[in-house]
Chain A
């Protein structure tokens, strides 16, 4: 990728633009924990409303940052591992569309015309420019996949019988899932919401919109996660000084994710009306099955780290854990991947709880939910993005990482922060604290009739956790900026920059996991089987269409408003 100057510029833009936006996302994250703890008792701070800022927090952190990173990492890994130039037209137009889309959506959020949160549930209505921006952003990310397919097919032809590099498998799996799951949300946005927000259609089918959204919403979680899984399977073993325990396990996990990440979105709609509990139950079963590749990954990565630790002189049944490079400044990236894994143990367990059908009644839409996903998208995903962005940016610009010890401290500080933040929210959620609610105005305000003193402690613990998380990001940005302004490192000028890739310890040649085609066919069938019945029911039900409402008024929005 270093040979292709234009591609390098594209990758750097895709990494740096969302990091700049992230500054606002983090700033408002800090405000949110203060609003929720009742420390701020206002509807807005510095001209930004709570729900407006919350929308920006979600869109920037969970959609813009993650998608830009996945595309940038994809460009870097595909170009390196297939040793092929990528179409600059393709990569460039993908970047352009994503930038335009992100700017359109962000602009509408900041002028206050899209305070509908990042799930944009109708009949809350946002500006058409917001919906159009989202659509362009998604289409831009599609183009990335199509710039990788021709060099991949060429590579397959030139290397018959050779296994596809693991990094390529991971990235392709990520974007195959993305391609499959963004079709329903593109339909929701372009066919249902955009004409409705323009006033061309009188109403919107709420049940259908929600179902299409969550058809996308859960695979979205795997789209966030799989780039980090790719780093786990390709870089983590090497960073520990070992090898990947089983090559098969990595390929198996990615292929199973392709099949099982989509046909289970109804587990987000257990509490919804208008959908039969039979289909909800079916999706609950499928959700439990998707835990299999994650459990396999947990084992395989631990085994790989053990190989490395024993290589470093570790002994004993558990004693080898002491020999991992936790604080090695030369391998600072290890802490980003390792802490992400530790956090994800709890993210994964709570995810299984959420998906467990009747159990959802206890925690649905409470503070438990943000507690959970700050341990998934806010855990391994976010740390993977921070660490790998720093690695790629400094690598591509040929800068040293100044203060690597400070850099490797970031994940530990973040992990401590999430522990408090999510801990507070978990307990608060079990006590009924609602999510996405400006608690400071009512429930956490002693002057309000709905004041709940029993939510005081948990919201304050979460707030302290939020501060610690923000401190971690602050330290990260100090390291990043210092590295960017430092002079180019001399050591690296001879060897071109490359991303280190692990070898396999057990390199099982299992044909079934070395070909995408059967898995993509299985995925398509699974999606049809899982979504045909509920969508057929919804189509038959003929629900009354809902007119639109702006978040600031109970009055129906008239066409043209």
Chain B
């Protein structure tokens, strides 16, 4: 066995091997890029946090586009069963009430980690009818193996239905989940209104939105007012001027255009 004596250059074969390895990696990167940008299959991104996601609910955006919010907790999914018509597109928003959970919708590309205090999101289109189990695949305590839910894509269903939701969140006509008021809800999340104003009646930094519309409120200057279009616009456009009694004058001024203002008001009207 001869030994090429020491010199300062890398062995030629070894140099080619390194170049081949780098080429391999680049081919791999090309394939990854193609799946991500060419085919549009991607991984979860940041979603604005909102209290709206803190319980399970289903929302109808029309044309078989649905938004489904899952609340996971030790050891159940809320909702536990969702039925949608064939050809539906489901936008899943998931958050945990307690520990880290998993959210793998078998037979789809939806595979998420579910964590407390931060929302995760994935969208999927169901072309074929069938039963798609949702499995918790992250250890979440002694009951972990019993934690599953199901999406049923049914040829006979015409609208979304769900089991295991809290009574207030059953899908229905005209409520806060109705398609007509969803743009307003989106504005609320985007502007962060619900950071201070709850939508379920709980006391927070500001008055709750639930049942606020049309009610009479007492103000710190001793007067009273009815929450209507005029009052609402004034509160949003000039927050510090009049303050509801019992609350601090700390509401920031947020840029809201006229369309957004109307959408917000439609949403508030639905929050009975």
Q: Which residues of A contact B (CB under 8 A)?
A: 43, 49, 51, 115, 117, 121, 123-124, 206-207, 210, 242-243, 245-246, 248-249, 252, 269-277, 280-281, 284-285, 288-289, 291-293, 295-296, 299-300, 303, 307, 311, 352, 356-362, 364-366, 431-432, 434-439, 441-443, 450, 452, 503-511, 537, 541, 543-546, 549-554, 556
Additional A-B contacts beyond A49-B142, A432-B133 (5; CB < 8 A): A288-B32, A365-B104, A441-B146, A508-B11, A554-B98
Of chain A, the residue at the smallest CB distance from B41 is A358
Of chain B, the residue at the smallest CB distance from A369 is B137
Collect the chain B residues with CB atoms within 8 Å of residue A303's CB: 13
Please determine whether B146 and A300 come into contact, CB atoms closer than 8 angstroms. Answer: no
Please determine whether B32 and A432 come into contact, CB atoms closer than 8 angstroms. Answer: no
Please determine whether B28 and A277 come into contact, CB atoms closer than 8 angstroms. Answer: no
CB-contacts of B39-83 with A (<8 A): 39, 41-47, 73-75
Cα(A459)–Cα(B74), bound, Å: 26
Please determine whether A509 and B136 come into contact, CB atoms closer than 8 angstroms. Answer: no
Please determine whether B43 and A360 come into contact, CB atoms closer than 8 angstroms. Answer: yes
Q: A358-B42, A364-B111, A437-B137 are in contact. Are A544 and B116 (CB under 8 A)?
A: yes
For chain B, which range describes its interface: under 10, 10 to 19, 20 to 34, or 35 or more residues?
35 or more
Q: Which residues of B contact A (CB under 8 A)?
A: 1, 3-11, 13-14, 17-18, 20-22, 24-25, 28-29, 31-32, 35-36, 39, 41-47, 73-75, 98-100, 102, 104, 106-107, 109-121, 133, 135-142, 144-146, 148
Please determine whether A358 and B35 come into contact, CB atoms closer than 8 angstroms. Answer: yes
Please determine whether A300 and B31 come into contact, CB atoms closer than 8 angstroms. Answer: no
Please determine whether B17 and A277 come into contact, CB atoms closer than 8 angstroms. Answer: no
Q: A299-B17, A356-B28, A359-B35 are in contact. Are A434 and B102 (CB under 8 A)?
A: yes
Cα(A105)–Cα(B245), bound, Å: 55
Other-chain residue from A285, A366, A437 in contact with B145 (beta carbon distance below 8 A): A437
Cα(A300)–Cα(B136), bound, Å: 43
Other-chain residue from A210, A245, A281, A442 in contact with B146 (beta carbon distance below 8 A): A442
Taking the nearest CB of chain A, how far is it from the CB of B143, in angstroms?
A: 8
Collect the chain B residues with CB atoms within 8 Å of residue A293's CB: 21
Please determine whether B112 and A117 come into contact, CB atoms closer than 8 angstroms. Answer: no
Please determine whether B17 and A365 come into contact, CB atoms closer than 8 angstroms. Answer: no
Q: A356-B32, A450-B148, A551-B142 are in contact. Are A274 and B115 (CB under 8 A)?
A: yes
Most chain B CB within a 10 A radius of its CB, from A272, A307, A442, A553: A272
Q: A252-B18, A437-B144 are in contact. Are A270 and B43 (CB under 8 A)?
A: yes
Taking the nearest CB of chain A, how far is it from the CB of B51, in angstroms?
A: 11
Q: A292-B25, A307-B1, A549-B74 are in contact. Are A361 and B117 (CB under 8 A)?
A: no
Cα(A510)–Cα(B3), bound, Å: 16
Please determine whether B43 and A508 come into contact, CB atoms closer than 8 angstroms. Answer: no
Taking the nearest CB of chain A, how far is it from the CB of B220, in angstroms?
A: 29
Of chain A, the residue at the smallest CB distance from B22 is A292
Could you write out 20 A-B pairs with CB less than 8 Å apart?
A121-B100, A206-B116, A246-B14, A270-B44, A276-B45, A285-B29, A288-B32, A292-B22, A362-B109, A432-B135, A437-B139, A437-B145, A508-B7, A510-B10, A537-B46, A541-B118, A546-B99, A554-B74, A554-B98, A556-B98
Q: Name the 9 nearest CB pairs between A and B, nearest first.
A: A273-B120, A434-B137, A554-B74, A295-B21, A544-B117, A432-B106, A358-B41, A365-B137, A274-B118
Cα(A62)–Cα(B112), bound, Å: 25
Q: A123-B98, A248-B11, A505-B1 are in contact. Are A552 and B46 (CB under 8 A)?
A: no
Collect the chain A residues with CB atoms within 8 Å of residue B100's CB: 121, 123-124, 206, 210
Please determine whether A509 and B6 come into contact, CB atoms closer than 8 angstroms. Answer: yes
Q: A291-B25, A361-B111 are in contact. Are A552 and B141 (CB under 8 A)?
A: yes
Cα(A7)–Cα(B113), bound, Å: 46
Taking the nearest CB of chain B, how far is it from the CB of A427, in angstroms?
A: 14
Of chain A, the residue at the smallest CB distance from B93 is A273
Collect the chain B residues with CB atoms within 8 Å of residue A511's CB: 8
Taking the nearest CB of chain A, how far is it from the CB of B1, in angstroms?
A: 6
Taking the nearest CB of chain A, how far is it from the CB of B60, in angstroms?
A: 24
Most chain A CB within a 10 A radius of its CB, from B5, B22, B73, B121: B22
Other-chain residue from A352, A358, A432, A545 in contact with B43 (beta carbon distance below 8 A): A358
Other-chain residue from B17, B28, B115, B148 in contact with A206 (beta carbon distance below 8 A): B115
Collect the chain B residues with CB atoms within 8 Å of residue A537's CB: 46
Please determine whether B111 and A365 come into contact, CB atoms closer than 8 angstroms. Answer: yes
Please determine whether B8 and A311 come into contact, CB atoms closer than 8 angstroms. Answer: no
Taking the nearest CB of chain A, how far is it from the CB of B262, in angstroms?
A: 31
Please determine whether B25 and A288 come into contact, CB atoms closer than 8 angstroms. Answer: yes
Collect the chain B residues with CB atoms within 8 Å of residue A291's CB: 21, 24-25, 28
Taking the nearest CB of chain A, how far is it from the CB of B47, in angstroms?
A: 7
Taking the nearest CB of chain A, how far is it from the CB of B148, in angstroms?
A: 5
Collect the chain B residues with CB atoms within 8 Å of residue A288's CB: 25, 28-29, 32
